[in-house]
Amino acid sequence: MMDRRAFIRGIAGAAVLSPVAAYAQATSKTRRVGVLMTTTPAAAAHIVAAFADGLKELGHVEGKNVVIEYRWAEGRRERLAEMAADLVRQKVDVIVASSQAPALAAKRATTTIPIVMVNATDPVEAGLVASLARPGGNVTGLSQQLTPEIRAKQLQLLKETLPRVARVAVLHSPSTTVGLREYEAAGQALELRVQFVEVKSRDDLGRAFTAMARDRVDGLLVPGDTFLFTERQRIAELAREHRLPGIYAWRELTELGGLMSYSARLTEQFHRAAVYVDKILRGVSPATLPVESPSQYELVINLNTAKALGLTIPPALLVRADELIQ
């Protein structure tokens, strides 16, 4: 015979199951999540791991009650439309789009399957959502919101680090979605000459850095760009080779030897995207889920790189840094 106190404890324990545990017990249906990525599996391994961890924390375990369908464009934007259409044919329950271009491709492919965008530059201007507060359609998620103030801040930080800087090169590709001319306006306000250097392929990178050296640029700025993110290892190598100090739109490049970065953390955005997916799988409409913007931009400085370049980082900047790599 069961002990009466043990029986009562069992009932009480069942009553206070965590929401995640309760949800896991309440549904046995395997859900399908499509993930549309612009980059390569190797370049985004840490990002998709953060997303999978976020899902797991909310009771969605890959291979158990959720199947994740990954599609990798590998830097070829022309593949996004067909990949988005394929995810629609697979009848996924929700599509996670890694940036603005795949989000647009997914929206063109479906008006009914919910889409969670991540790291979108300006979703309102791009026509992805009606407003950040009330998206109004089948798209919601997280916006990078690289405002003119953020772009000006990146240039300002570079100038603080390099007081004698006069000419800054902004590296970009056809997939760059930020307003490049706003960098030019910010540069004028800081008495900096900003020039734009476009690359269309990996082979262009070497020629681009050679051209920057020939033009005697003093500093480099690399904005958020999916192609350049994929090629970040090569960019870091070329910047070291040409002894070109730079500021980057992702901490990942600073970790690889770039001088500094000022950005939101991509892994946190993808981890947060899991919350959106969880709510949608529970029945919440994306039309009513407000789009989130980053709550924090972090300044990361690589002191090893500064030393190799013979630079002394101003003490005031060191104090303001969120992380120092040494």
Is residue 224 scored above 90 in pLDDT? no
Q: What is the pLDDT of residue 105?
A: 97
Q: Are residues 178 and 88 in the same domain?
A: no
- The pLDDT confidence band at residue 29, using thresholds 50, 70 and 90, is confident
The type of residue at 54 is G
Looking at the fold, whether 226 and 258 belong to one and the same domain comes out as yes
Do 115 and 177 share a structural domain?
no
Q: CA 35: distance to chain centroid?
A: 14
Give Dmax over CA atoms of the chain in angstroms: 88
The answer to whether residues 170 and 257 belong to one domain is yes
CATH at residue 316: 3.40.50.2300
Residues β-bridged to residue 66: 31, 62
User: Are the C-beta atoms of 59 and 18 separated by less than 8 Å?
Assistant: no
Asked whether residue 169 is domain-assigned, the answer is yes
The H or E element spanning position 164 is: none
pLDDT at 182: 80
Mean pLDDT, residues 104-113:
97
Domain extent for 70: 19-144+266-288
Q: Do the domain assignments include residue 12?
A: no
Q: What is the pTM of this model?
A: 0.84
Same domain, residue pair 183 and 124: no
- Neighbouring C-beta atoms of residue 76, cutoff 10 Å: 12
All residues at 6 or more sequence positions from 159 whose CB lies less than 8 Å from its CB, including other chains: 165, 190, 192
Please say if the pLDDT value at position 148 is more than 90: no
Question: Do the domain assignments include residue 172?
Answer: yes
Structure confidence at residue 174 as a pLDDT band (50, 70, 90): confident
Phi, then psi, of 34 in degrees rounded to 5: -90, 135
Same domain, 30 and 71: yes
Residue 2 lies in a domain: no
106 and 171 within one domain: no
pLDDT score, position 120: 87
Residues 314 and 194 placed together within one structural domain of the fold? yes
- The structural domain count of the chain equals 2
User: 16 pLDDT exceeds 50?
Assistant: no
Residues in contact with 156: Cβ distance below 8 Å, sequence separation at least 6, in sequence order: 186, 190
Structure confidence by residue, pLDDT tens digits, 290-325: 999 988 899 999 999 999 999 999 999 999 999 999
